[in-house]
Amino acid sequence: MGTAARAFQVDDRPQRVLRTVALLERRGYALSAGRLGTLCLGGPVSGEDVLAAAAIRPELRLAEGLVLTVATAPRAPWIAERARRHRREAPAYLDSALGFARLLVALCPFVLGIAIAGSLASGGFVETDDVDLNLIVEDGHRHLAYCALNALGLLHALRHRRKPVDGLTRRPLAPRLLTANLILERRQCFPLPRQDEQMAFELLASQPCFGTPLWRRVVGANPGLRRHFPQLEGWAAAEGFPAPRRAPGWLFPAMLDGPARGLGSAAWRWMQWTRRHDPEALERVAYVRQTMRPYTLFDAWAGQ
């Protein structure tokens, strides 16, 4: 038995299922017994094991074909509806996101890896959502990457002005469509300061589409991630798209990252100001930033 598997005992499957359900619910979604089993904390278990855990653990319920905690069970119809809508609404946005990723890679040679994350990757995407991207970039280019992604994202979103929005995606001129969930510099990856179950699941639930070998190296260099989710051993099997013809790197020296930080922080503060009357949106932003620390940008402005 490998090191990752020994991190959990053979008879602790009900507890592992419960912890996995709780982790998913903190991210706003739930899964069927079979799908939950494949993503179970500590390694895959069968759908039958998940159903047995739901019968044993008083904290768990089955509703709408999903495994949830008692507290979340009343929201099962809403979560199930999101999953149904995902199958109908996600494909067009996935194609759009991949096209945007290719453009970002071509224009920004400091971008080394891109993965689709958030609801579009996890299976609960609806049209009011934005599309989250995780990035790995050259050292000294995090804020430049943030500004480039948002500037290009705004231009991209102008083509989707009729897109439905909610409190998180509503913006002047064009909706918030593509956004940075996590931006890591290369030096932050080897090793990752955080190798907890939240960070491990963030990678497991994402879908690399560029720089896949680098994403695999990150997982290989951080064994703590695999202790939580041994499934990461076979993660990112698809290679993603090849590097297109790229702009020359000398156009983007690291010295530009300082001005980009000032510009990005001003834009961040303004966006939070526009949400000041939407407690639900502010709460969601605060949660996402909490799960991403210490990698969040503009952390001094969190909650403002």
Specify the CATH number for the domain of residue 67. 1.10.10
What is the three-class DSSP state of 110?
coil
- Comparing CA positions, the residue from 163, 178, 155 lying closest to residue 127 is 163
On whether residue 157 sits in a domain, the answer given is yes
Residues 116 and 23 in one domain: no
Classify residue 85: in a domain, yes or no: no
Task: Give me the number of domains the chain comprises.
Answer: 2
Residues 95 and 190 occupy one common structural domain: yes
Tell me how far apart the terminal alpha carbons of the chain are, to the nearest angstrom: 48
Please indicate, yes or no, if residue 82 is contained in any of the structural domains.
no
The one-letter amino acid code at 260 reads: A
Structure tokens at 113: 């890896």
Q: Do 62 and 104 share a domain, yes or no? A: no
Domain match, 171 and 50 both: no
Whether residue 138 lies inside any domain: the answer is yes
What would the two tokens of residue 102 be? Answer: 């290719």
Residues 26 and 134 in one domain: no
Instruction: List the chain pLDDT tens, one digit each, 304 residues.
Output: 444 444 445 569 999 999 999 999 988 899 999 999 999 999 999 999 999 999 999 999 999 999 999 999 999 999 999 999 999 999 999 999 999 999 999 999 999 999 999 999 999 999 999 999 999 999 999 999 999 999 999 999 998 888 888 877 888 888 889 999 999 999 999 999 999 999 999 999 999 999 999 999 999 999 999 999 999 998 998 889 999 999 999 999 999 999 999 999 998 888 888 888 888 778 878 877 777 788 888 874 333 3
Residues 28 and 173 both lie in one domain: no
Please tell me the predicted confidence (pLDDT) of residue 5: 47
181 and 262: one domain? yes
Indicate if 116 and 61 belong to the same structural domain. Answer: no
Residue 23 confidence (pLDDT): 95
Residues 104 and 232 in one domain: yes
The verdict on 57 and 142 lying in the same domain is no
Identify whether 202 is part of a domain: yes
Q: What is the pLDDT of residue 9?
A: 53
Is residue 203 in a domain? Answer: yes
Give the pLDDT confidence score for residue 288 in this predicted structure.
Answer: 77
Q: Give the range of the structural domain holding residue 7, as residue numbers without chain letter.
A: 3-71
Question: Cα dihedral sign for 121, 127, 129, 130?
Answer: positive
Residue 84 lies in a domain: no
Structural domain ending residue among the three candidates 40, 71, 102: 71
Q: What is the CA radius of gyration of the chain?
A: 20
Residue 33 lies in a domain: yes
What confidence score (pLDDT) does residue 10 get? 53
Is residue 66 domain-shared with residue 95, that is, in the same domain?
A: no
Per DSSP, the residues of 247-298 read: --GGGS-GGGHHHHHHHHHHHHHHHHHHTTT-HHHHHHHHHHHHHHTTS-SS
171 plus 234 within the same structural domain: yes
Last residue of a domain, one of 44, 71, 98: 71
Please report the pLDDT score of residue 213 as a whole number.
96
